[in-house]
Structure 1
């Protein structure tokens, strides 16, 4: 009788060993139940378990390829998992370094410039905090950022809430790019900033506030798909303001909105496109408004009756870009208007007026050429015009070369610039950017400049 029960238990154990490893618990319970009824001894139970485990190992070896520690079914699951999207990475350090050499020959009784500087030395942290929040910071170690009160070198510090990404859009709170800035291509195509960027709201287009954005056009704050199949990108925001100030001591805010259409889908994010891609384009407009009781752009503290001036500031922008194969092109236009109804404002040329109006536009194109070992080189051309009436706005070379009298004398508020770019791309994160620019001032000094800088992203 005992032998028959043992054979019955072995049969149950062998049957249970064929499925997955989870059947072991079931077989053990059956054996212990038989032992509890006195039909099997403890030694019988131990012997049956050992034989059942041996049968299971033989079955395991039959379905597992040589050199693998998992059954074939488990390996198939691992193969499927390997092609699925990976979970988001954690918060990580990132940055950009741009050591630069600048050369401007002496002339017109002015000293030249030959210097090594850092255009940018930025680092920060970015990454998901969980499935709903994303954090981003960027610190500039190269130089202080003008007019960022109490911030000095802190360029960006914001948190994104992405629960509504596929409907309303991402919600971004903190110091960030103003939505109405309508920033166009600026990753590396032009070594120097474009005239329209000087006329944009905020400091380098940044302010502190709250924004809702939809679409990759809002990068780096958001990388969501736009509405209607990625055909419409938009953003709205309210920020501490006004104008260049990051505070709102006068209890006034800055309001911005931007919209762009991408009928064929979103354009690329890099002016130097190294891939062979189909044609796509983007057309957009932006608007910002604020009321300013200060006079950063007017140089007037009081109106004709001795009262503080109150300026109504408005920015209008239009921009576009396209890519086709390895070509990339862009254009942007900005108009900045400040108006004071009861006072006279000082224009950049010293003339008094009740309204200051500044305009600037830029257009450019680049083309990349593949080399061996995934390297590329690229050529670019950009043309710009500026007509600046706001005293604190343009002076194009001021940021580039420093603050000496000779260098400031080369600044330009009215005129045009032509820039030729030649770039060597070691990989998408390391580039050597070279630019020759000719500045043709309507009132002032014409001159050329040569800038060469290494750009390293990590």
Structure 2
């Protein structure tokens, strides 16, 4: 049924787009509406618009200077309509997430009641021509992971889609590392998940080159996966983890990820507001790097008094599914660092040749439609972490600030129970609320409430 609609729209759009530029906004809105309804994919919309541009160019090439009576009366307007339009210019986009956090005092520790910005991002994106696409994202919030109270250029890359139907898209620049795990979601639980925190790179990003096929790598690529969208994959090479903290060390990070999607790619939104058929994803990722100057090594250098060389490995497993307005996910990460010549210090102060950290999370959400296109979304998530790396978790470290009491609430071993309630005004405006209970194996147990407004533009 979707393919019939796709072909029908394609036949209608091509002549309309070629006739006059005045109808482009209307046609684009129709296509976007069909995509929101789930009747067309993002790739379908891209292909239709591309065919329309090709038809327009062909018409202009065949008759570059038409001279009908109506055009003779308005030659400037006619020539403008006949010429091929330039590619879509770069356009501004962004995300704002002001947040309020409340943690009660207890166990001899002060609580916190603070207003902060979880995200304050702005960027540019758009097609440079039919083959090249540019993307930039700048973070101005005061809670960037590993860069507290500092600005950060999160993403800046260019995509080439000349091999999109065979090898995949080629992306060059600072981007998500394919071995990062689950693809970024439109909205997620309020706070960072432990499996993501253990992943390579700062916020899972690196500078380098990748080849990706399928939406599993969004936003870097929006192509369908191989074999009828049944296989998503990505591989890349980057100059090391933690590059966003200027920790370049001339050592490379290699990453690969693959996922099976037998029924097609699941949705990118963890609060699915459409009534869609069942789809699922099962995937795995692996990354490797040799590192001589990461945060963990600095702790060890202070102990041993000389440089430490580490072999780092990440293993990741992930799964997602959606059915109607339900969405579920699970992810698991194992991070291992091994010193080539020295013993390493773990979070308990012990010495070993290898450090092991593990974390996993699982959750489910359900949306409920309301009048006027609004929705409620409810969710549950469970997380567990067992961390040996001195710089990897301490969950509250990047939550609200750097005070001693907040650091004392950090957790290297334990579990978290999260209850989420989200009010969706529209897909671009959401009020995210979360209550989380932190159950530490050693340390302070506590609960916290977080609410934040997410605005995309």
Root mean square deviation, CA, Å: 2.4
Matched, 1:254 2:253: yes
Distance verdict in 2 for CA 1:169–1:189, change over 3 Å: same
Distance verdict in 2 for CA 1:152–1:115, change over 3 Å: closer
**Residue in 2 that maps onto 1:178:** 177
**Residue in 1 that maps onto 2:129:** 130
**Residue in 1 that maps onto 2:301:** 301
Q: Tell me the SS of whatever aligns to 1:297.
A: helix
Quote the offset at 1:296 in angstroms: 1.7
Alpha-carbon distance in structure 1 between the residues aligned to 2:17 and 2:227 = 37
Distance verdict in 2 for CA 1:253–1:375, change over 3 Å: same
Alpha-carbon distance in structure 2 between the residues aligned to 1:270 and 1:330 = 11
**Residue ranges of structure 2 left out of the alignment (5+ in a row):** 1-14, 31-47, 54-86
**Residue in 1 that maps onto 2:425:** 426
Quote the offset at 1:397 in angstroms: 1.1
Deviations 1:362-388 (A, max 9, x none): 000000000001110010000000000
**Residue ranges of structure 1 left out of the alignment (5+ in a row):** 1-73
Quote the offset at 1:89 in angstroms: 3.4
Aligned residues: 383
Alpha-carbon distance in structure 2 between the residues aligned to 1:339 and 1:311 = 5
**Residue in 1 that maps onto 2:81:** none
TM-score by length of 2: 0.79
1:302 and 1:309 in contact (8 A); partners too: no
**Residue in 2 that maps onto 1:376:** 375
**Residue in 1 that maps onto 2:203:** 204
Greater Cα offset, 139-148 or 162-171:
139-148
Q: Tell me the SS of whatever aligns to 2:451.
A: strand
Distance verdict in 2 for CA 1:226–1:453, change over 3 Å: same
1:242 and 1:291 in contact (8 A); partners too: no
Alpha-carbon distance in structure 1 between the residues aligned to 2:348 and 2:416 = 19
**Residue in 2 that maps onto 1:397:** 396
**Residue in 1 that maps onto 2:113:** 114
Q: Tell me the SS of whatever aligns to 2:196.
A: helix
Q: Write out aligned runs for 1:247-326 (5 A).
A: 250-298=249-297, 299-301=299-301, 308-326=307-325
Matched, 1:92 2:91: yes
Alpha-carbon distance in structure 2 between the residues aligned to 1:322 and 1:143 = 33
Alpha-carbon distance in structure 2 between the residues aligned to 1:214 and 1:252 = 26
Quote the offset at 1:189 in angstroms: 2.6
Quote the offset at 1:145 in angstroms: 3.8
Alpha-carbon distance in structure 1 between the residues aligned to 2:196 and 2:267 = 20
Quote the offset at 1:342 in angstroms: 2.1
Q: Tell me the SS of whatever aligns to 2:448.
A: strand
**Residue in 1 that maps onto 2:455:** 456
Quote the offset at 1:398 in angstroms: 1.1
1:162 and 1:170 in contact (8 A); partners too: yes
**Residue in 2 that maps onto 1:217:** 216
TM-score by length of 1: 0.79
**Residue in 2 that maps onto 1:26:** none
Alpha-carbon distance in structure 1 between the residues aligned to 2:244 and 2:140 = 21
Quote the offset at 1:294 in angstroms: 2.2
Distance verdict in 2 for CA 1:338–1:329, change over 3 Å: same
Distance verdict in 2 for CA 1:369–1:248, change over 3 Å: closer
Quote the offset at 1:182 in angstroms: 1.6
1:438 and 1:447 in contact (8 A); partners too: yes
